[in-house]
């Protein structure tokens, strides 16, 4: 399979997708090694994971170079690579304590002769299918706590951004105990289907359409499916907000990573009293943002990683324009050096029926809509099939929170935006079509990979059948 370079447009890399038989063989090997891994004390698994973190740091440069090529951006690639060892060490530090806290021994039950012990039993084989927008983060965000819990882990990264797989495998090979229970496979949709058929718990990050297929396949396999899907995240700017501060916050929360993030702000509702002042600042700041072309080490906006996404974004913009919306800045996908780019695009006069307001755009596009009352803004924000996250900006945190709790979304940023990209220990679950299953953040990020087993101990003589004789009613 030929792989496209997002900056040059050339197909300069290739992978060999694993077929169903190959996936099954890798799964068998991982399953065979898991009992020994799961039997290790949590502290021992944590120490092994810390050695992996050390290996990642030692291989930082090849990982960074591969990810930079995969995504066409440098700073965020560095943040991803440097964040990996930090995430590994975080789970290594907290997992043993969490496991101990949720493993109960000899708890007295209502029956005075009975006690119970609770064991946390890890799923044997965890599987992850990850997307192309944050390749390293989203390939490992679930696998690391699964490993800390005692699962073996099988990961299929996106075929759009596979260059990092080889150097990441090299880091895993430096830790033999881990190599036997952690594998990455190259592949496409068929490879992903085979993964679901061979694991005991699957995590998927990606589109709603593909997420439905994963959920259906998981249901047929009778395994849990943890899904984080699309978003159409709204931001509400209340009349008490400082329009300059709000505009700068909205811009960053919308266009970082070229808007190719599930938690990107994609709809902005602004109190009419400050609407024009907000727009003026937003347009000014948007026009100051530059592309990282031709120098990848300059500018703020990189290319579209997945070329067809640029076409979808252009369709949303063109349809809005044709329906009467006003493109205040940006609005045209540019082909530069073979890559596809879009400058921050601010859209006024958008309406609720436009695709740019209703459907996930996944690009640096900011439709701005005025409102007259807070009730009107809340209703507009909640009028969506999605409920991943949202944001409220106001003069005080208290005022913003009072509105935020009315929004139908799993995580609400207060006086900021897209904070779930920066805060990983706040538990939240997706609403509506944005996902299904326990939070990948906070303690649930680890505890979801266990089944609870009760050891119910009878400390007196067990009951006999004589005690259930009908004659006992006489």
Catalytic residues: 228, 262
Looking at residue 459, the DSSP 8-state letter turns out to be -
Nearest to residue 373, comparing CAs of 239, 196, 207? Answer: 239
- Is the distance from CB of 432 to CB of 408 less than 8 angstroms? yes
> Strand 125-129 and strand 201-205: pairing?
parallel
Please tell me the total number of residues recorded for the chain in this structure: 474
- For residue 370, list its beta bridge partners: 270
Beta strands in 17-162 (DSSP E): 107-108, 114-122, 125-129, 152-156
The neighbour count for residue 183, using CB atoms within 10 Å, is: 18
* Per-position DSSP letters for 201-223, written without gaps between them: EEEEES-HHHHHHHHHHHHHHT-
The contacts of residue 379 (CB under 8 Å, 6+ apart) are: none
- Is the distance from CB of 431 to CB of 417 less than 8 angstroms? no
- Is the distance from CB of 179 to CB of 207 less than 8 angstroms? no
C-alpha to C-alpha distances, 112 to 107, 115, 375, 463, nearest whole angstrom = 11, 8, 54, 14
CA atoms within 13 Å, Cβ hemisphere of 186: 17
The tokens of 345 are what? 């695009």
Nearest to residue 45, comparing CAs of 100, 93, 86? Answer: 93
- Is the distance from CB of 132 to CB of 161 less than 8 angstroms? yes
The tokens of 295 are what? 């120098």
The neighbour count for residue 111, using CB atoms within 10 Å, is: 12
The tokens of 417 are what? 């935006």
Instruction: Give dist(CA 362, CA 264) in Å, integer.
Output: 8
């Amino acid at each position: 399979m030929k792989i496209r370079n997002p900056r040059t447009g050339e197909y300069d890399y290739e992978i060999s997708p694993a077929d169903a038989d190959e996936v099954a063989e890798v799964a068998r090997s991982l399953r065979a090694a898991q009992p020994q891994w799961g039997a290790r004390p949590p502290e021992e698994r944590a120490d092994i994971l810390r050695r992996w973190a050390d290996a990642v740091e030692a291989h930082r440069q090849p990982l960074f170079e591969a990810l930079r090529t995969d995504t066409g951006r440098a700073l965020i690639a560095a943040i991803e690579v440097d964040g990996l060892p930090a995430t590994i060490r975080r789970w290594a530090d907290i997992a043993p304590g969490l496991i101990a806290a949720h493993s109960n021994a000899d708890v007295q039950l209502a029956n005075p002769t009975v006690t119970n012990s609770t064991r946390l039993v890890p799923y044997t084989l965890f599987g992850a299918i990850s997307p192309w927008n944050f390749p390293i983060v989203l390939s490992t965000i679930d696998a690391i706590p699964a490993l800390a819990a005692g699962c073996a882990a099988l990961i299929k990264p996106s075929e759009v951004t596979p260059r990092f797989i080889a150097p990441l495998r090299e880091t895993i090979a430096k830790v033999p105990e881990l190599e036997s229970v952690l594998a990455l496979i190259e592949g496409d949709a068929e490879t992903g289907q085979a993964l679901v058929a061979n694991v005991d718990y699957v995590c998927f990050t990606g589109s709603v359409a593909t997420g439905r297929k994963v959920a259906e396949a998981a249901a047929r396999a009778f395994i849990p499916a943890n899904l984080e899907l699309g978003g159409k995240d709204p931001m509400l700017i209340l009349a008490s907000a400082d329009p300059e501060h709000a505009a700068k916050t909205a811009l960053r929360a919308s266009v970082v990573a070229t808007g190719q993030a599930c938690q990107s702000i994609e709809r902005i509702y602004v109190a009419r009293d400050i609407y024009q002042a907000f727009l003026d600042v937003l347009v000014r700041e948007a026009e100051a943002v530059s592309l990282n072309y031709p120098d990848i080490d300059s500018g703020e906006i990189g290319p579209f990683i997945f070329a067809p996404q640029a076409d979808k974004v252009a369709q949303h913009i063109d349809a809005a324009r044709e329906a009467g919306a006003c493109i205040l800045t940006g609005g045209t996908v540019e082909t530069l050096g073979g890559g596809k780019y879009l400058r921050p695009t601010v859209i006024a006069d958008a309406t609720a029926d436009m695709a740019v307001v209703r459907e996930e755009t996944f690009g640096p596009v900011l439709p701005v809509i005025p409102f007259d009352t807070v009730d009107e803004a809340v209703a507009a924000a909640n009028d969506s099939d999605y409920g991943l996250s949202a944001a409220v900006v106001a003069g005080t945190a208290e005022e913003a929170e009072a509105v935020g709790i009315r929004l139908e979304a799993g995580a609400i940023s207060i006086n900021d935006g897209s904070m779930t990209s920066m805060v990983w220990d706040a538990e939240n679950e997706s609403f509506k079509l944005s996902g299904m299953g326990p939070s990948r953040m906070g303690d649930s990020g680890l505890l979801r990979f266990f089944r609870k087993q009760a050891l119910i101990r009878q400390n007196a003589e067990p009951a006999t059948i004589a005690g259930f004789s009908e004659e006992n009613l006489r």
